[in-house]
């Protein structure tokens, strides 16, 4: 297996498929790089070099006690970029991965980056505050923490329902997709999964978004039950200069794995990377 070594010695696993201009994917919580497999194959089949890593704390990466925060996640992404000496990369981040990509730009700049795609991403801030009334109350995140600490296996099975919109009439998400969500999530250590909740909910990424200086595509489902569009995509699209904002009507948080939305996202991703 291939690994990059982070600044603190943590080994970050990555998969590296195909050849051509690089497209680097960052996954959501509490998943692994495998959640991006359909898009990795799509891009590699179409003349791109497709790369995705397992965030520290889960999958095939190391599970250190420390470093489960967005600064370190961004630095881990930088370690992968530097280990592979990538330039002109398209960075694609879903959910927490979108926060990771955004903090990467904030901390490391866009010298190695050509474009950015944020899908159902957490920026600028998920937590409700006086300055961010559209966010979710802290009690929502406390419930997530409780679910992870008490019975995370059952919690992940339950979470897959709103994640993919399985509780909506006419949903076409399969049981297999929901089972895969559970499988990937259970490879994440409880420490990393728990700490990441604070990272994705309480990290303000507004100033990082202001540093974007490359073409940016923001995609968000207007029925996202995990990262509400009003607190995320809507706001980010107004902060990032000249961002292209695409709203998928009726789409859930995990839209890239739901048939009726995945085809559209794959086409938009490929067109944006080629453009």
Nearest to 164 by CA among 39, 255, 261, 229: 255
| Contact yes or no for 48/273 (Cβ under 8 A) | yes
253 is catalytic: yes
Q: What is the CA radius of gyration of the chain?
A: 17
Question: How many whole angstroms separate alpha carbon 1 and alpha carbon 27?
Answer: 19
Catalytic residue among 26, 61, 95, 237: 95
Residues with Cβ within 8 Å of residue 264, at least 6 apart in sequence: 248
Residue of 224, 236, 237, 256 marked active site: 224
Is-catalytic flag, 185? no
DSSP symbol at 55: P
CA distance 173 to 180: 12
Number of Cβ within 10 Å of residue 23's Cβ equals 30
Assign 14 to helix, strand or coil.
strand
CB 134 within 8 A of CB 232: no
- The CA distance from 147 to 97, in Å, is 21
Q: How many whole angstroms separate alpha carbon 256 and alpha carbon 191? A: 27
Strands 49-53 and 11-17, bridge-based pairing = antiparallel
| Residue written as token pair 């990272």 | 199
Report the catalytic residues.
Answer: 95, 224, 253
């Amino acid at each position: 297996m291939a690994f990059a070594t982070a600044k603190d010695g943590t080994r970050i696993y990555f998969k590296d498929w195909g050849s051509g201009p690089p497209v680097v994917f960052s996954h959501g919580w509490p998943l692994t790089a495998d959640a991006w497999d359909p898009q990795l194959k799509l891009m590699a089949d179409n003349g791109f070099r497709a790369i995705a890593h397992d965030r520290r704390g889960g999958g095939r990466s190391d599970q250190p006690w420390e470093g489960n925060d967005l600064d370190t996640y961004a630095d881990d992404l930088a370690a992968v970029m530097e280990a592979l000496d990538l330039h002109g990369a398209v960075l694609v981040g879903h959910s927490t991965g979108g926060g990771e990509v955004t903090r990467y730009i904030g901390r490391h700049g866009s010298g190695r980056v050509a474009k950015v795609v944020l899908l159902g991403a957490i920026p600028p801030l998920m937590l409700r505050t006086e300055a961010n009334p559209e966010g979710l109350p802290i009690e929502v995140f406390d419930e997530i923490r409780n679910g992870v600490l008490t019975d995370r296996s059952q919690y992940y099975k339950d979470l897959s329902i709103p994640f993919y919109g399985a509780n909506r009439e006419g949903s076409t998400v399969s049981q297999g997709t929901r089972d895969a969500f559970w499988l990937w999530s259970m490879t994440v250590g409880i420490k990393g999964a728990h700490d990441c909740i604070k990272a994705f909910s309480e990290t303000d990424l507004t100033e990082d978004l202001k540093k974007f200086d490359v073409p940016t595509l923001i995609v968000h489902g207007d029925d996202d039950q995990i990262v509400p569009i009003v607190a995320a995509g809507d706001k980010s699209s107004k902060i990032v200069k000249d961002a292209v904002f695409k709203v998928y009507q009726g789409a859930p948080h995990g839209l890239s794995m739901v048939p009726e939305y995945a085809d559209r996202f794959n086409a938009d991703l490929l067109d944006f990377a080629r453009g």
